[in-house]
Amino acid sequence: MSALAEAPVWLIGCGNMGGAMLRRWIAAGMDPQRVTVITRGAVDLPEGVRHTTIVPEGDSPGILVLAVKPQQLDVVAPRLAHLRPALLVSILAGVEVAALAARMPAAAIVRAMPNLPVAIGKGVTALFAGAIDPGARAVAEELATPLGLVEWIDDEAQFDAVTALAGCGPGFVFRFADALAEAGAALGLPADQAARLALATLEGSALMAATSVDTPATLADRVASPGGSTRKGLDVLDEGGALVALMTDTLAASARRNAEMAAAAR
């Protein structure tokens, strides 16, 4: 095990995503005394985790995790510019490695894009790094592994698309669940019952798709008997590629926003 794998971790920001990551790390066995959380105000933290509202003087972490909003980069960065961490991990959407390196010198920089289900260890974390030490790359992957699926991205130009699909994706799935429930209520079901049915249907279907050797498209066709009710509903979603077109437009809008944030951070 490398020294970096046991090095002090400073977490800058501890909102929904930063907090979810921290709790998963602690649940997976990380020593809470390794971690210092730096936020502007009070925050609920796992027992044993150190908290401060200012950057400690005369000290530096081995691993610095940047988990503030992208718009706060130029507020936070000057306060961290004197640090020389061995590894900087940033979850700032749209902020490229070059923009990070220009503001906060670090031996190795890794961009990470986790999504909200990391809170239950079922998330997705996409990682990108340029030419960095293999040990630092391995430690970044070790940090992401307790959060769920880990995917390395070879081309940073693809990060906007990855963020739109996996980072923003839970929001789209939640919206679909709500729409499915509302549609059931529109057909006469009690709203609370329609919501339970929709969520349980999504949970079971997602688990089945994740564990099946067949593609989701194949599974959909298996559910849909020729001339049956499922087929009639799929006909509506499939007509003119309506659903694919809608999701493509949805992801494209998110990807464009990521690109705008990247341009602003350069």
Three-state DSSP at 127 gives strand
Q: How confident is the model at residue 2 (pLDDT cuts 50, 70, 90)?
A: low
208-256 pLDDT per residue, tens: 999 999 999 999 999 998 999 999 999 999 999 999 999 999 999 999 9
CA distance 104 to 143: 20
Mean pLDDT of 4-20: 91
Q: What is the pLDDT of residue 105?
A: 87
169-261 is classed CATH 3.40.50.11900: no
How far is residue 247's CA from residue 72's CA, in Å, rounded to a whole number? 30
Burial class (CB in 10 A: 0-12, 13-18, 19+), 27: exposed
Phi, psi of 50 (to 5 degrees): -75, 145
Per-residue confidence (pLDDT) for residue 165, from 0 to 100: 96
What one-letter code names the amino acid at 159?
F
pLDDT of 121-165, one tens digit each? 999 999 999 889 999 999 999 999 999 999 999 999 999 999 999
> What proportion of the chain, given as a percentage, has pLDDT over 70?
99
* Model pLDDT for residues 79-95, shown as the tens digit of each residue: 998 899 999 999 998 89
DSSP 190: -
Give the pLDDT confidence score for residue 5 in this predicted structure.
Answer: 73
Tokens representing 53 are 């509202």
Residue 80 and residue 55 in contact, taking contact as beta carbons nearer than 8 Å: yes
The pTM (predicted TM-score) of the whole model is 0.89
- How confident is the model at residue 246, as a pLDDT? 96
- Kindly tell me the burial class for residue 46, based on how many C-beta atoms sit within 10 Å of its own C-beta (0-12, 13-18, 19 or more): middle
Query: In CATH terms, is domain 3-155 a member of 2.70.70.10?
Result: no
C-alpha torsion angle, residues 152, 156, 161, 165 (rounded to 10): 30
For 209-255, the three-class secondary structure string (H helix, E strand, C coil) is HHHCCCCHHHHHHHHCCCCCHHHHHHHHHHHHHHHHHHHHHHHHHHH
> How confident is the prediction for the chain on average, in pLDDT?
93
In the chain, where the domains are located: 3-155, 169-261
The closest of 109, 205, 111 to 162, measured between CA atoms, is: 111
Do residues 167 and 91 touch, judged by C-beta distance below 8 A? no
**Whole-angstrom distance, CA of residue 64 vs CA of residue 41:** 19
What mean pLDDT comes out for the span 61-73? Answer: 93
Cα 91 to Cα 55, 115, 130, 176: the distances in Å are 19, 10, 16, 26
pLDDT at 42 over 50: yes
pLDDT recorded at residue 127? 97
Closest CA to 30 of 145, 138, 120: 145
The average pLDDT across 54-76 equals 90
pLDDT of residue 1: 47
